[in-house]
Amino acid sequence: MGGHLETGEKQGGKGSQDICLQFIQQKVYRMGSMIDLLYEIKAKTPVGRILVILFHVILQKEISPAGKINLCGVSLPVLAGLAEVTEEELKESIDFLQLKGIIKTE
């Protein structure tokens, strides 16, 4: 057998295997991001506290046809106050959430 799993007709070409691996990596990345958020919320870090507040704000907003939620009008100092974080922690948290692709600031 020599460490090779030959599965005849069930094997795809190299291209389809690469696509499959990329798809799996995408899923693992998303899952990793969600686990990160779960950790931040459970550990009650500044990021986690801000996320919880944002989730509640989001509930009051409408989702655009593109699946985006516009949080314009949400005051950053108010957000920091509600989440009980400093403005510096807020900035770091927003940077983190942007890096994860969860929010985008303009």
SS3 of 104, please?
Answer: coil
Half-sphere exposure of 78 (CA within 13 A, CB side): 6
Length of the chain: 106
Using CB under 8 A as the binding rule, whether residue 76 contacts other proteins is answered as: no
By CB under 8 A, residue 63 contacts other proteins: no
CB of 40 to other proteins, least distance (A): 9
- Report if residue 78 touches other proteins, rule: CB under 8 A: no
Candidate list 15, 51, 63, 64; residue touching other proteins; CB under 8 A: 51
Cα separations in angstroms, 46 against 52, 64, 69? 10, 28, 22
CB distance 56 to 49 below 8 Å:
no
The reply on whether position 10 binds other proteins by CB under 8 A is yes
What is the contact surface with other proteins in residues (CB under 8 A)? Answer: 1, 3-7, 10-12, 17, 20-21, 23-25, 27-28, 30-32, 34-39, 41-43, 45, 51-52, 55-56
